[in-house]
Structure 1
Amino acid sequence: MRTTHRPLTTLALVLSIFMAALEMTVVSTAMPTVVSELGGLQSYAWVFTGYMLASTITVPIFGKLADLYGRKPVLLVGIGLFLLGSIASGLATSMGMLIAFRVLQGLGAGAMQPVSLTIVGDIYTLEQRAKVQGAFSAVWGMAGLLGPLTGGLIVKYLSWHWIFFINVPVGLGAMALLVVFFHEQVQRKPQRLDFVGAALLGAGVVALLFGVQGVGRNLLALPLGLLLLVAFVWVERRVPAPVIPMSLFSIPVIAISSVAGALFSAAMFGATTYVPLYVQGVLGGSPTEAGGMITPMIVGWPLASLVAGRLLLRTGPRPLIVVGLGLSVVGTGLMALLLRPGAPLVIPGLAMMLFGIGLGFTTTSMLIAVQTSVGWELRGVATASNMFFRTIGGSLGVGLMGGVMVAQLMKDASVPVSAANALLGPEHGQGLSPELLKTLSGALGTGLTINFWIISACTLAAFLVGLFFPKGGKGPGTAPPAAGVPMAH
């Protein structure tokens, strides 16, 4: 058995996370320009929700596969799918094609982040992990700084297609490092995958997503989605190798982290999706200015994560989680109050910074607490389930906000929704009459302002849930595990 080269393996994991993080900020920066070229503002949310939906469904599946067959092959497959989706997205010539290829990209993303973080949990001790996980989050800060600038420069000097092509060299480099330097010894168990549970989970999440986005007949998808998810839970309790072991959620640390994670992720993905759209579509900002609005959040996040990683072993996770979620409430509340036409961008920028700092304290503490509450054989699925609830929260939140935005644009039947695409072009509405421009800008601004209040409500709900996080000792994961769920070795 060859020994893992830990520094170069860590570099491969950093490249994987960096690729996914950079993609989020670059795409958010460039999407208004993409819509102005391809059309389809009414489908704007699906470019993000299609990606997140695919990763949501596959996160627990890849987590289970990583526990059964090892982390390395699963992560390599995930990166490969992500790169195929990136290349295809860059070649898209219509909004429908772009959404379809973003789904393929999301399938790969469902493996990349949870499996990468699981490997960190495997190759570092608890004391090292608290510091490494915090330092790992600095990748998001770098992506936050480079993403808006990179996206703006690509859109201005090349074309938006290149925001996807830039993933290829990074992804190939990460795969090469993993193949050569990461080695693991896995005792493979002859277990069958729970395909029925996976199918029920996927269908239930899709139905919920359609339900939260629509009105009229689409609302019928909500009870259907809930029924499918109830059936999923029923199946998971009875199969020998469930996609998500229900026994995990008898551990308070995991149960509370899952609910709070879904809520604050709805806020986070909502902010990264719709704040740039507001800046470019309502305020008339450039693509670089639009993307720059989320930079304070993504920079504040890793800075707080570094601090959290150093404090965690002394304070335990609960104080950091409560303080972090409290800061998030203040930040998103200020964003909802201050992001108005004519507002100086420095003010909502500070609000986004507070939001990011709060998320940095919260996510690092919760993740390490979750990983430490189970043993190696469940660490992959525990990490993946935590990521699953974050991505499902983000998917449903962005979908709901997309429905709110489109409903506002469709209020005036005499105004075609397609005309709103012109708001996002480089000339900001050139060719539209002043009356139509004012109507469209006002409708878009109203819809997005409602979304900002939804974001604020999500962080407040997450804070209230976080108050119930168990009071542990001077370290994470001190809550006793449920019967049948082993402690970390």
Structure 2
Amino acid sequence: MASERKTHRALTVVGLILSLAMAALESTVVATAMPTVIGDLGGIHQYAWVTTAYLLTSSVLVPICGKLSDIYGRKPVMLVGIVVFLIGSIASGAAQSMPQLIAFRALQGAGAGAMQPMAMTISGDIFDLNERARIQGVFGAAWGLFGITGPMLGGLIVHYFSWRWVFYINIPFGIASIALVASAFHERIDRRRHELDFLGAGLLSAGVVALLLATGRLGGAMTVFASIAAVALFAAFLAVERRAPEPMLPLPLFRRPVMLISNVAGAILGGAMMGTITFVPLFVQGVLRGTPTDAGSAIAPMLIGWPVASAIGGRLIPRVGFRPLIWVGLGVTAAAGLALAIGGAHDTPLMLRATTLVFGVGMGLSNVALLIAVQSSVAWDQRGIATASTMFSRLLGGVVAVGVMGGVLTAQLAKDPSIPADAASRMLTAEGAQGLDPLILQHLGEALTSGLTTVFWIIAAMGLIGFVVALWFPHVPLQTADDKAVAPTSSPSRGLPL
């Protein structure tokens, strides 16, 4: 029987790492290629939507998939997520217009909404607290490897082939991950009847969409209508969750200070992180007139500092606990945000790399501690939704922040009537820039500088607020009764060397 088969932890971890590799590559390769994509397909006013669509579906699906994994198991949710992610990647590579790319990125994000939280949840299931902290170092090293190679690979692909191949490179990683997880990871599930919270899931999804519309379009009737709709939908969602037999998000979980503070801090920092990843490459190409490779290398240090700090933090947790790492990490992140904002138009590529490196170090220290603290505070049958809720908060923060920042940038470009609608898109390619009037290029550069400087100050403010919120993070014992709960998986046939 499948339930009696033993989990091979080493092969399972390799499969999880490959799935995370796809996410790491998406963070840098796509960001590197986006200015070139805009130059090819046009539509700079839709620039933020390529990222926002991905974050939107990811954030909606994360809690839903987390709950489904607590009911039906991690494995089927993980495998379906990888398949959907691959379909979205192939379709994104074949997109012929910006609306198509946005739609296919949304499909890709739906797969990520299942794939990413499951990787973290499965690692929480098959390792105890001490091993769990150390395995983050393994995941961090893998993320760092692909984070380092991502910008370089993205620049080479865009230069020598086509931006479409930044999506197609996910195919071999996805196929290998499916094969390993399907064959190596096994779990026993409590087979009983469940009442799925379809109404709660629908209200949550609609509420997130309304919130995106409210924050992504500054001013006008759409903002007012979407804001009212978002408040009403989230209020209805909370009312449904209080009465649902098996709620999508168990509200009693958030009465625990560790869950509440982790989710609030995660939302704020998720916004700062996604804002940095999305708009620093645009700053490099649009303001500093760098190449796609320069744009990718500007955020690559973040994806190096993050895993290195995560690995170090994971090993420090058993010695110093959770709170010191969270406080130090968020303090460093806030300092990096301020450096980005104060530098503004005077930043050089070298200074940007240094700033994003520090930003990544802070995020790595704080996030590993927040995630393991949450996983250690709940039993197996709530670990899926608890892990997913922290990722949901981070993604939702990213959705809102990127929408607001994109709106700020669009509004700034619209202030100068002398700038043609397609000028910013043309500016991002060497051929297009050569065809623009020098005076228009000057005005466009000034508008981009002003808009992106405002965006960087928003990032700085979010970093400071996140640090203040984290000061209330409670003391969490390193070994709680819930953490000792045994996950319903058979014992591993072979341990993973740590």
Q: TM-score range by the shorter chain?
A: over 0.9
1:407 aligned partner: 411
**C-alpha offsets along residues 54-73 of structure 1, whole Å, 9 cap, x if unaligned?**
00000000001111001111
After TM superposition, the structure 1 = structure 2 runs for residues 191-210 of structure 1, keeping only pairs within 5 Å, are 191-210=194-213
Structure 2 gap segments, 5+ residues each? 486-498
1:38 aligned partner: 41
Q: How many aligned positions are there?
A: 480
2:283 aligned partner: 278
Counterpart of 1:192, as a letter, is: E
Pair 1:290–1:259, CA change in 2 (3 A): same
Answer whether contact 2:56 2:106 (CA < 8 A) is retained. Answer: yes
Answer whether contact 1:374 1:488 (CA < 8 A) is retained. Answer: no
Counterpart of 1:439, as a letter, is: H
* Secondary structure of 1:452's aligned partner: helix
Answer whether contact 1:148 1:291 (CA < 8 A) is retained. Answer: yes
Structure 1 residue 141: deviation in Å?
A: 1.2
1:360 aligned partner: 364
1:120 & 1:69 partners in 2: Cα distance?
17
1:203 & 1:78 partners in 2: Cα distance?
21
**C-alpha offsets along residues 384-405 of structure 1, whole Å, 9 cap, x if unaligned?**
0111001000111111100000
2:405 & 2:186 partners in 1: Cα distance?
43
1:148 aligns with 2:148: no
Answer whether contact 2:375 2:483 (CA < 8 A) is retained. Answer: no
**C-alpha offsets along residues 377-428 of structure 1, whole Å, 9 cap, x if unaligned?**
0000100011100100011111110000000011123422321111111346
After TM superposition, the structure 1 = structure 2 runs for residues 417-456 of structure 1, keeping only pairs within 5 Å, are 417-427=421-431, 429-456=433-460
1:267 aligns with 2:272: yes
Moved more, 434-443 or 42-51: 434-443
Q: 2:104 aligns with which of 101, 104, 108?
A: 101
1:235 aligns with 2:243: no
Answer whether contact 2:418 2:440 (CA < 8 A) is retained. Answer: no
2:306 aligned partner: 301
Answer whether contact 2:326 2:370 (CA < 8 A) is retained. Answer: yes
**C-alpha offsets along residues 211-269 of structure 1, whole Å, 9 cap, x if unaligned?**
11112112111122122111111111110111111011011111100000000110000
Structure 1 residue 488: deviation in Å?
A: 4.7
Counterpart of 1:345, as a letter, is: P
Structure 1 residue 167: deviation in Å?
A: 0.4
Pair 1:73–1:358, CA change in 2 (3 A): same
1:78 aligns with 2:81: yes
1:35 & 1:192 partners in 2: Cα distance?
45
1:388 & 1:472 partners in 2: Cα distance?
22
1:118 aligns with 2:121: yes
1:51 aligns with 2:54: yes
Structure 1 gap segments, 5+ residues each? 481-485
After TM superposition, the structure 1 = structure 2 runs for residues 342-381 of structure 1, keeping only pairs within 5 Å, are 343-381=347-385
**C-alpha offsets along residues 70-101 of structure 1, whole Å, 9 cap, x if unaligned?**
11110000000000000000000000000000
**C-alpha offsets along residues 106-129 of structure 1, whole Å, 9 cap, x if unaligned?**
000001110111000011111100
Counterpart of 1:223, as a letter, is: I
2:46 & 2:231 partners in 1: Cα distance?
24
Structure 1 residue 487: deviation in Å?
A: 5.9
Answer whether contact 1:270 1:394 (CA < 8 A) is retained. Answer: yes
Quote the sequence identity (%).
Answer: 52
2:313 & 2:119 partners in 1: Cα distance?
20
Structure 1 residue 296: deviation in Å?
A: 1.1
* Secondary structure of 1:148's aligned partner: helix
Counterpart of 2:343, as a letter, is: L
* Secondary structure of 1:4's aligned partner: coil
Counterpart of 1:219, as a letter, is: T
1:483 aligned partner: none
Answer whether contact 1:63 1:381 (CA < 8 A) is retained. Answer: yes
1:23 aligns with 2:26: yes
Normalised TM-score (structure 2): 0.95
Structure 1 residue 138: deviation in Å?
A: 2.1
* Secondary structure of 1:429's aligned partner: helix
Q: 2:318 aligns with which of 313, 322, 325?
A: 313
Pair 1:454–1:428, CA change in 2 (3 A): farther
**C-alpha offsets along residues 5-40 of structure 1, whole Å, 9 cap, x if unaligned?**
110010000000111111111000000000000000
Q: 1:133 aligns with which of 129, 133, 136?
A: 136
Answer whether contact 2:69 2:77 (CA < 8 A) is retained. Answer: yes
**C-alpha offsets along residues 347-387 of structure 1, whole Å, 9 cap, x if unaligned?**
22211111110001000000000001000000001000111
* Secondary structure of 1:193's aligned partner: coil
* Secondary structure of 2:163's aligned partner: coil
1:325 & 1:3 partners in 2: Cα distance?
40
Moved more, 51-60 or 408-417: 408-417
Counterpart of 1:421, as a letter, is: S
2:289 & 2:41 partners in 1: Cα distance?
19
2:17 aligned partner: 14
2:474 aligned partner: 470
1:459 & 1:226 partners in 2: Cα distance?
25
Normalised TM-score (structure 1): 0.96
2:241 & 2:298 partners in 1: Cα distance?
42
2:432 & 2:350 partners in 1: Cα distance?
22
Structure 1 residue 315: deviation in Å?
A: 1.1
* Secondary structure of 2:430's aligned partner: coil
Counterpart of 2:427, as a letter, is: L
1:68 aligns with 2:71: yes
**C-alpha offsets along residues 407-454 of structure 1, whole Å, 9 cap, x if unaligned?**
001112342232111111134621111111111111111111100000
